[in-house]
Chains A and B, each alone.
Chain A
């Protein structure tokens, strides 16, 4: 098969898995809660807190909070969906079939984690709509042409990060427990709602290697920033590439080892 035909087949595979997984998430009460209800509750807490703060609760602050809580929802969905992706395939006994299939397994996983992140972006729509409807928050973007690009790199980057989570979490027997643990720390370390400048300095280097830091920076920069967020967009792209290389290597190692040891379906 020629390289163009291979490329088309690979894209087709990712798109098919993506649409199929999105269909599953739309029927999952857990993911509807994570991507739809939880962000709205957190957005309400943030809006009310900023209102208690008084002067700080201007339209820009509400938009800052809506985008931040929306991204928190995206992270939660990515964390639980990506982190549990391979583990769920094990529980549902589809992992052997997917790995044994002649198609590339990493592309199947990529489609699955991209769907997780795409579904997670419903959080952003939910928090923006909630802020607009109930708190009179204006929906406006300082750089409307850059915003779609920022959203695109954020979706792809977080999808790849989900793939990295899937391949690494599978090494731990209780992937869900890791997901429970890592929800709040990443919200803190990536400046989703509290600016990093106000947090201890040692968190800085940690935040730089976390893709959600740059994803929320890119989206916020395009929406309410004073300058185009090119640095954040660029960093998203670089980290996406780095995460993909690591995720693919780990995946090859994990699958090979599981096949050698005949432990593919043993959680």
Chain B
């Protein structure tokens, strides 16, 4: 059995040190305790196996249907697979508090809510980035995708920011899931919609205008465009705007998720529905 070392040094509630502990240790605990897929027997088939075949499927379908280079579809899906970690992971990290019966204890604690909530992002951003990196390794080995060493750092930055924005919309979904019977319905739906709207498989220019408009406010669209450009050799100054836009979109979703969480908390207190299912 593996235990997570948690500092036993007492610190006054509300202090920076206490908030840091809630942010860091709480985040790690939430990943280990609430993310159902963290164990290898689920992680490997779900977060490594499924993305492998997703990339191969869309590379084959895309090149067959359009005659375009399979690399276009492989890159899009290699970035999109981070949603498996970001969306499902954050949904579980928030919604499982209720399903596992720990939500009342959490809500009764005086812990800083921003630290409590923010700490949950870190493991899923790292996880999402790693799943995408694995996807790109597959693209490199099997699908002939090649990277420009000079702009590899830009690509990595765009991937991390995309994993963040994806986790942020996952946190919104997690908040909504606190009130739903089946929290993963919305998470599944989001993952599929990214495949359709965000330029993952269909070039944005080929989408109807209303779908292009929707894609502009979704995670992935700008981050993926930045990754594609970086692979083609674009520098940070050239794709910085895209990365910044992706970050801003993520930030808006993160803030929205935080206020949604607070609103649901207050509403649950008022209506005595904290643990209602």
Contact = CB atoms under 8 A, between A and B. Distances in A.
Interface residues of A, number: 35
A21 B252 CA distance: 42
Contacts of B203: 52
B144 interface: no
Interface in B91-140: none
B192 A38 contact: yes
Contacts of B193: 41
Interface in B7-42: 37, 41-42
Nearest to B202: A48
Contact of A29 (B64, B182, B207): B182
Contacts of B210: none
> What's the dominant secondary structure at chain A's contact region?
helix
B66 A49 contact: yes
Interface in A156-182: 173-174, 176-178, 180-181
Interface residues of B, number: 34
Interface stretch (A94-102, A183-191, A227-235, A251-259): A183-191
B64 A174 contact: no
Interface string A7-28: 0000000000000000000001
A5 interface: no
A117 B49 CA distance: 25
Nearest to A193: B61
B194 to A, nearest CB: 10
A201 interface: no
A181 B37 CA distance: 13
Contacts of A195: 64
Given A174-B41, A178-B45, A184-B54, A45 B195 contact: yes
A42 to B, nearest CB: 8
B41 A181 contact: no
B92 to A, nearest CB: 13
25 contacts: A28-B182, A33-B188, A38-B188, A38-B192, A41-B192, A41-B193, A41-B196, A45-B196, A45-B201, A48-B206, A49-B61, A50-B66, A52-B65, A52-B203, A53-B65, A53-B67, A174-B42, A174-B45, A177-B45, A177-B46, A181-B49, A184-B57, A185-B53, A194-B61, A199-B60
Interface of A: 28-30, 33, 37-38, 41-42, 44-46, 48-53, 56, 173-174, 176-178, 180-181, 183-185, 187-188, 193-195, 198-199
Given A45-B196, A194-B60, 12 more contacts: A30-B185, A33-B188, A33-B189, A45-B202, A49-B66, A52-B206, A173-B41, A177-B41, A180-B45, A180-B50, A188-B56, A193-B64
